[in-house]
């Protein structure tokens, strides 16, 4: 029975994964980009550039570089990625909550044994732990680069003899 459930789950999961893969290969995905948005573009010759998106059409993508406007032909573009939204505030709040909760539990456990030092620990320790947890949470890297477009893999034809 367990194998049947796993098999059905995998059969349902594979088409979803394949459709997600195909979705990145659509040039129309560049419609998601906003003019002025920072992107990373990788060309088929393995050169990578961090640029500002301007526009695109069926023939290529127009970006702004430090030296001015540049157009890359569609057939030279391997990948276009955009920077994900940062979640540092969310991570800081989660870190503060976890650290504050753990230190609060430690203070509560200590308070029953020694109420005087438990009060001092509650007044001093919980805020310090909460601030430290918020700092650690804010330092966790988030956002990252996400592919908007990735050129499909086309087989290279064999040379004629």
CATH number of the structural domain spanning residue 52: 2.30.30.100
Query: 83, 100, 125: which is the final residue of a domain?
Result: 83
Cα 151 from Cα 149, distance rounded (Å): 7
- Asked if residue 95 and residue 57 are part of one domain, the reply reads no
- Asked if residue 95 and residue 56 are part of one domain, the reply reads no
- pLDDT tens for the chain, 161 residues: list them: 666 565 555 555 555 444 444 466 888 889 889 999 999 999 999 899 999 999 999 999 999 999 999 999 999 999 999 987 788 899 999 999 999 999 999 888 877 777 887 788 888 889 999 999 999 999 987 778 889 999 876 544 545 65
> In the prediction, which pLDDT does 101 show?
94
Q: Is residue 125 part of a domain?
A: yes
Cα 86 from Cα 119, distance rounded (Å): 37
Q: Is residue 135 part of a domain?
A: yes
Residues 6+ apart with CB under 8 A from 151: 25, 44, 77, 78, 79
Query: 83, 106, 131: which is the final residue of a domain?
Result: 83
Structural domain that includes position 56: 22-83
DSSP state of 114: -
- Asked if residue 118 and residue 69 are part of one domain, the reply reads no
- Asked if residue 41 and residue 69 are part of one domain, the reply reads yes
Cα 42 from Cα 71, distance rounded (Å): 13
How many domains does one find in the chain? 2
DSSP state of 156: P
SS3 85: coil
| Beta carbons within 10 angstroms of residue 105's beta carbon | 10
- Asked if residue 128 and residue 104 are part of one domain, the reply reads yes
Q: Which of 152, 155, 145, 153 is nearest to 48 (CA)?
A: 145
């Amino acid at each position: 029975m367990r194998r049947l459930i796993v098999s059905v789950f995998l059969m349902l999961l594979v088409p979803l994964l394949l459709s997600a893969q195909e979705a990145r290969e659509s040039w129309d995905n560049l419609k998601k980009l906003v003019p002025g948005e920072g992107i990373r573009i990788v060309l088929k010759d393995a050169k990578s550039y961090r640029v500002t998106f301007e526009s695109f059409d069926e023939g290529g993508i127009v970006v702004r570089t430090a030296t001015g406007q540049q157009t890359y032909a569609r057939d030279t573009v391997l990948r276009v990625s955009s920077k994900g939204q940062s979640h540092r505030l969310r991570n800081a709040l989660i870190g503060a909550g976890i650290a504050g909760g753990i230190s609060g539990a430690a203070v509560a456990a200590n308070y029953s044994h020694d109420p005087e030092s438990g009060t001092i620990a509650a007044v001093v320790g919980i805020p310090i732990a909460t601030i430290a947890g918020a700092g650690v949470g804010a330092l966790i890297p988030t956002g990252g680069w996400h592919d908007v477009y990735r050129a499909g893999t086309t087989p290279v034809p064999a040379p004629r003899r």
